[in-house]
Structure 1
Amino acid sequence: MPTPDDLAPLAADMTAWRRDFHRHPELGFEETRTAGIVADLLRGWGIAVETGIGETGVVGTLTGTRGPGGNRAIGLRADMDALAMPEMTGAPYASTTPNTMHACGHDGHTAMLLGAARWLAMNRDRFGGTVQFIFQPAEESRGGAARMVKDGLFDRFPVDAVYGMHNLPGLPLGSVAVPKGAVLASSDTWEVRFRGAGVHGARPHLGTDAPLAAAQFIAALPMIVAREIDPLQAAVLSVGHMAAGAPNAPNVIPSEVFLCGTARAFTEAVRAHLEARIAQVAHGIAATCRLRAEPRYIRRISPTINRAEQAAVALRAARAAVGDARAMDDHPPLTPGEDFSDFLAERPGAYVWLGTGDPAHPEGFHHNPHFDFNDAALAHGAAFWCALVEQELA
C-alpha cells in the first residue's frame, strides 16, 4: 500500500500548491481562481474534469486499469473555501486578500487531494474502477455540499461510497483517526424575538419588559441541556448575539429584544428535542412576562455519522498508509459541524481526521487568525487517500 515515503517526491509540489492557495484565499462560491488551478492540474495529468458543479466545484474522474471489478466507484472530497477573517500568522505566504484567510486548512485539504490524484494518475494500474475527486466549494456554512448534490453530483458522477478528511491540530503528526459512528454534530441556528411594550425605565410597571424576558430565556437554555438531555448523549445551546435598545438611551426599556445562537446535537432525536423546547420555553417565558415571543429554528447541517463498513475500510487504509501505531479508531465526536453530512445523506461513507501535530502558535487552532496548516502532514494525508483507493478498488 502507498505510504508517506511513496508520496514524498510530491511533497514539494503539494507544499507549493498549498501555500499558493493560502496566499490567495477565496470565500465560498467565489473560488474561481482555486477551482481553475485545480482543473488545470487535473487535466494536465490526464484526468477527465468537469467544472461549475455546485457553482464553483470541480470533479475529476480517473479510471484505473487493473481488473477485474472495474465497475465500482468511490468519491474523495476536499473543500476549497476560506474564512472571512484577517490573518495574523506573519507567514511569507500569508493572505494577500484583506479579511480573508485559510483559517481551517482547506488549502491543505485541496493540496493533499491534488497530490493523491497525481500519484494515482501515474499508478492507475494499481487499482480498478473509478475515483471521483470532488473539490467542494463553500463548506464554511454556505451550503456547498448541498449545492453540489442539488446540481446532480452523484447522478453525474456515480459513487458507491464517499470519503472526507479534515486536518486536526493537536493530534499527533501523520496520524489518522477514524471515529466510530458520530464524528461531528449538527449545526443549527435558533432565533427568538421578544416583543413587549417599551416604557420609561423609571416607570416599568406601565410597560412589559422584553429585556427581562430575554434574560430569563438565556438563563433557562442551559436547563434544557442539563436536565432534559440524557447525560450519555450530548448537546450544546449557546447564545451568539443579542440586540436591544440604544446605548444613548439607558433610561428606556426597549419594546423588543432579538437573540440568536447555535444548537448542536449528535442524533436527530436530540436535535428535534432542542428545536421543540427552545420554542416552548420562549413562549412560556413570554406568557409569564406578558409579552410575545417569536421563535425560529433553522436547520442547517445534519450530524456527520460514519457508516460502519466504510469506517472499517478507512481504518484499514490508515493502518496501511501510516502504520498501526498512528491509526486510531477511538476518537471522540466533536461538536463543530461539517456539511459533508449532506454527502453522507446520499451515499454511504466515512470522515477521518488527519493529525497535524501541535500548532506552531499557542492559539493556532481552527478558525483562529494564527492558524496555519502544517505542511509536514501533506504526504501523510495524500498517502491515506491513495491507500484508501487501493483498499476500495484493488
Structure 2
Amino acid sequence: MSHLTDVVVTGLGATTPLGGDVRSTWDAALAGESGARLFNPEWVEKFGLPLTFAATIKVAPSEVLTTPELKRMDVSAQYAVIAAREAWADAGSPEVDHDRLGAVVSSGIGGIQTILDAWDTMTTKGARRVLPMTVPMLMPNSPTAYVSLEFSARAGAHALVSACASGAEAIGYAADMIRSGRADIVIAGGTEAAIHPMPIAAFAASRTLSLRNDDPAGASRPYDVDRDGFVLGEGAGVVVLESAEHAAARGARVYAKISGVGLSADGYHITSPEPSGDGQIRAMRAALAESGVAPRDVVHVNAHATSTVVGDLIEARSIRGLLGDDADHVALSATKSMTGHLLGGAGALETIFTVLAVNEHQAPPTINVDNPDPELVLDLVRDKPRALPDGDIAAVNNSFGFGGHNVALVVTSA
C-alpha cells in the first residue's frame, strides 16, 4: 500500500443499545450482553404491531444534550452529534485547519421520526402548527450537517445513503477524502433512529424482523438454525480518521489503520442479496487488493450477519469463496446478535468493533447460537471473546444494504 496515504483511526465515539459511549458498548459486547428489550407497550395495543421489542438506545439523548439541541435536531442527528463529540474528544480535540477537516456521517433512513411527527401535527392541528425547523430536521444530510457545524468542518460534508451499508460507506468515503488530498482529518460514521411504530410495521410486513416476543434478548441469532429475522436497533458510531502524517505531527494516539475500501453493487434485487455472493466477494477482494493484505493474513471478520434465514449463509459462503482454505483461521463475529441492526449506523459501529478487535487483539462473541447452522463453513466466535494472534494483524468489516450495496473495509494494526 506504499502508493497510498495511510489513513489511521485516532478517535472513537458511539451511543448504542449497549451503552452511551464506546467503552461501555465494547465492554457489554465482550460480555455477551443483549441490547434488545421491550419497547413502548402502548404501541402494540394502539397499532396492532406483531412484535413487542427492539434494541433501543441505552442512554437517552435527553441525558446528554441540552433542551435547545433536542428541539432543533431529529433523533438521528442527536445520536450522531453525541457520538461525534466523544470521538473528537477521544482524538484529543485537535487544533486543525478547518478547511482541511471533513465530515461524512450517513443515515439509511434519515429523519423519519420528524417526518412522521410533522404529519401527525398537520393532520390533527393544521399546517400552521408544523414547526419551521421540520425540513432541516428531516433531511437525510442533517446529521452530517450538524456534525460539520459543530466542528467547523469545511473540507466537505457528505451523507452517502446506501441503506444498511451507509455507515461503512461513509467511513470508506472519508478515507478516500484523505487519500485524494481533500482533507487531513475527517469525522465519519453512521446513525439511525427508526424505532417508531411505522418503520417497525413496515419491516415486519417485509418479513425481515424476528418475532420472538417471548425472548427479546435471544431473538437475534445469526447462523443459528432457528434464526427468524433481525432485531431493529438504533444509535450511532463515529470515528475520527486522519492521514498518518497529520496524526504523527500532532502526536496522536492511533488505534488502527483503515487500509482498504471495497465497494460493489449486486444489480440483482431491491432487497434480496444476489445468491452466489459475487458482489460481496468483489467488494472484499477490492478492499484486500487496496490494502495489500493477503487472504492468509486476515484473522478476523466482523460479519454483516443480520440473523436472516437467507442472508447469513450467502455472506458466509462469500467469505469462504474469497479466502478459500485461509478462512479456516478466521475468527468470525456477528455482533448484531447483541446490538441489533442499527441500519445506517450498523457499519460504523461494527467498524469501531473491528478497530477495537485489532487494537486489543480480541474478537467479540456471537450470542444466541444454540444450534449452529450445519451449512456455516466458518469458525464462529460464540458466547465469549477470543484472543487474536499477537503482532500486526488484519481484519475485515462487511456491510451490505437493500438495493444491492456491498461495502468491505480492511482494518490493520497501526
TM range (shorter): under 0.3
Higher strand share: 1
> What is the TM-score when the length of structure 1 is the normalising length?
0.28
